[in-house]
């Protein structure tokens, strides 16, 4: 392990807002806009949404704080942060497995995340060319099928997306991230509000969409639905993959970790809920099914853009902004392995980015092919895309999260936690109870209930 320490002011983000934006940039992405509506649709709406929000509060927020504490207290990449903490405590290096697991998970997630982000770029481009104008929802649906059946088109857009991610990341934290996010994230938020206005006033189905999301029937809560809600809570907050641990290393010492965690979780959840309130009314208005799967966002929204005046331009802007939200998330997924490789091999950041990003791109091709040429190739009954998505959501993220919680709650020195969290003792004890007991026990119960 090299002794390089990125605490110098050069490497800490230079304002309070920049860290919040970067952390929110990591959290807000395809998970909110693409995945939340489609998973909520598949698991029947209300009860799933309720469980998801419960997991955000009980597991997500405490864990977000724990990951950030680990990163900031050591000011190193996740793996070296864990190594430092375990060696200071004189305990088994087996705990460092948390960081290995996080690096593996963030890598695997990025391999399919980039493919879906490629879909958004493809849609932005096609909308700009006016391709969808006047198409019926059925025609828009078969266009989507055409995209996933085409290995070459998906490979092209996956390559464009990874290329941009590598380029921006290689330029370094300051230059790459700060300026853009301050403008893009609020713009995306405004556009989502505008589109929610469309769903509210132009579809005639807003209340039906609303009821789908918020009326809950507990009989819908199968073990699998609860597990999916938990996986989604981890995914959407970028937890269990060491992304926020890596970012924590750059967080200024005077930023409040609890306040940041609450802000990020609130913004992230708000974006997901708004996305659902945009998508479901459109789905109903166009006679589609909420359970349509990964194409839900693309087919429903594009059908709306196809029929509204100026829809091509609005749609183009929308998908570009979603692509940018995905970019700021993708950058955070590269960071755990990247930070470690630069420390370990004294490699330049740019070279390490190209190396890791290139590997992600290559493995990502398996996801592209799983939709078409390799659709018959099954491992554990799943094609690559489903295998990677399920393995991360249902197992790796919760496992990484639970181990992180156990480490932070039971193993780390209390003085470090107290110093980093700066909360009053009542709040601190609530956090400690959540992180020591509620997080690990819930993960365990959900895994057991889903497997039995």
Shortest distance, CB of residue 10 to ligand ILE, whole angstroms? 25
Nearer to ligand ILE, 260 or 312 (CB): 260
Shortest distance, CB of residue 36 to ligand ILE, whole angstroms? 8
Shortest distance, CB of residue 306 to ligand ILE, whole angstroms? 26
Told to check if 269 binds ligand ILE by CB under 6 A, we report no
Nearest to 353 by CA among 174, 166, 114: 166
Shortest distance, CB of residue 205 to ligand ILE, whole angstroms? 26
Told to check if 248 binds ligand ILE by CB under 6 A, we report no
Between the alpha carbon of residue 323 and those of residues 123, 124, 160, 326, 356, the distances in Å are 10, 9, 11, 5, 20
Nearer to ligand ILE, 30 or 352 (CB): 30
Residue 193 tokens, joined = 């509000």
Shortest distance, CB of residue 447 to ligand ILE, whole angstroms? 20
Nearest to 334 by CA among 312, 364, 309: 364
Count of residues in the chain: 452
Told to check if 31 binds ligand ILE by CB under 6 A, we report yes
Looking at 42-50, 200-208, 329-337, 356-364, which segment touches ligand ILE (CB under 6 A)?
A: 329-337
Told to check if 333 binds ligand ILE by CB under 6 A, we report yes
Instruction: State which residue has the least CB distance to ligand ILE.
Output: 31
Nearer to ligand ILE, 18 or 203 (CB): 18
Map the footprint of ligand ILE across residues 213-242, applying CB under 6 A. 235-236, 238
Nearer to ligand ILE, 95 or 234 (CB): 234
Identified binder of ligand ILE from the candidate list 20, 23, 30, 59, rule CB under 6 A? 30
Identified binder of ligand ILE from the candidate list 13, 18, 21, 29, rule CB under 6 A? 29
Shortest distance, CB of residue 239 to ligand ILE, whole angstroms? 8
Map the footprint of ligand ILE across residues 99-128, applying CB under 6 A. 109, 113
Nearer to ligand ILE, 12 or 238 (CB): 238
Shortest distance, CB of residue 143 to ligand ILE, whole angstroms? 24
Nearer to ligand ILE, 243 or 406 (CB): 243
Nearest to 127 by CA among 300, 322, 306, 321: 306
Told to check if 165 binds ligand ILE by CB under 6 A, we report no
Looking at 10-18, 30-38, 89-97, 121-129, which segment touches ligand ILE (CB under 6 A)?
A: 30-38
Shortest distance, CB of residue 173 to ligand ILE, whole angstroms? 16
Shortest distance, CB of residue 237 to ligand ILE, whole angstroms? 6
Q: Which residues bind ligand ILE (CB under 6 A)?
A: 26-27, 29-32, 109, 113, 235-236, 238, 243, 329, 332-333
């Amino acid at each position: 392990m090299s002794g390089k320490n990125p605490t110098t002011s050069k490497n800490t983000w230079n304002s309070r807002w920049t860290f919040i934006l970067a952390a929110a940039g990591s959290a807000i992405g395809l998970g909110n806009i693409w995945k939340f509506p489609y998973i909520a649709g598949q698991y029947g709406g209300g009860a799933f949404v309720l469980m998801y929000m419960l997991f955000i509060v009980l597991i997500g927020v405490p864990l977000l704080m724990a990951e950030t504490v680990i990163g900031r207290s050591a000011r190193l990449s996740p793996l070296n942060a864990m190594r430092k903490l375990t060696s200071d405590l004189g305990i088994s290096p087996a705990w460092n497995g948390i960081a290995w697991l996080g690096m593996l998970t963030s890598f695997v997630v990025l391999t399919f995340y980039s493919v879906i982000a490629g879909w958004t770029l493809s849609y932005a481009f096609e909308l700009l060319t006016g391709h969808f104008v006047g198409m019926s929802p059925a025609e828009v649906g078969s266009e989507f099928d055409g995209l996933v059946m085409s290995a070459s088109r998906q490979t092209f857009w996956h390559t464009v997306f990874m290329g941009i991610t590598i380029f921006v990341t290689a330029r370094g934290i300051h230059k790459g991230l700060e300026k853009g996010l301050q403008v893009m994230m609020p713009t995306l938020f405004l556009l989502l509000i505008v589109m929610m206005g469309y769903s509210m006033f132009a579809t005639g189905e807003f209340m039906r969409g609303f009821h789908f999301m918020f009326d809950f029937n507990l009989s819908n809560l199968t073990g699998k639905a609860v597990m999916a809600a938990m996986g989604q809570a981890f995914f959407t907050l970028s937890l269990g993959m060491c992304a926020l641990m890596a970012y924590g290393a750059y967080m200024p010492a005077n930023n409040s970790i609890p306040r940041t965690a609450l802000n990020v979780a609130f913004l992230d959840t708000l974006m997901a809920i708004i996305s659902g309130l945009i998508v479901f009314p459109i789905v109903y208005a166009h006679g589609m099914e909420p359970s349509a799967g990964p194409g839900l966002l693309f087919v429903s929204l594009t059908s709306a853009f196809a029929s509204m005046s100026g829809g091509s331009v609005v749609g183009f802007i929308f998908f570009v902004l979603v692509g940018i939200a995905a970019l700021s998330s993708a950058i955070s997924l590269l960071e755990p392995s990247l930070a470690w490789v630069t420390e370990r091999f004294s490699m330049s950041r740019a070279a390490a980015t190209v190396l890791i990003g290139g590997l992600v791109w290559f493995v990502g091709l398996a996801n592209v092919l799983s939709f078409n040429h390799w659709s018959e190739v099954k491992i554990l009954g799943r094609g690559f895309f489903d295998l990677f998505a399920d393995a991360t959501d249902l197992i790796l993220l919760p496992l990484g999260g639970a181990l992180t919680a156990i480490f932070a709650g039971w193993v780390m020195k209390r003085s470090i936690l107290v110093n980093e969290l700066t909360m009053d003792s009542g709040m601190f004890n609530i956090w400690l109870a959540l992180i020591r007991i509620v997080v690990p026990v819930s993960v365990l119960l959900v895994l057991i209930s889903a497997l039995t």
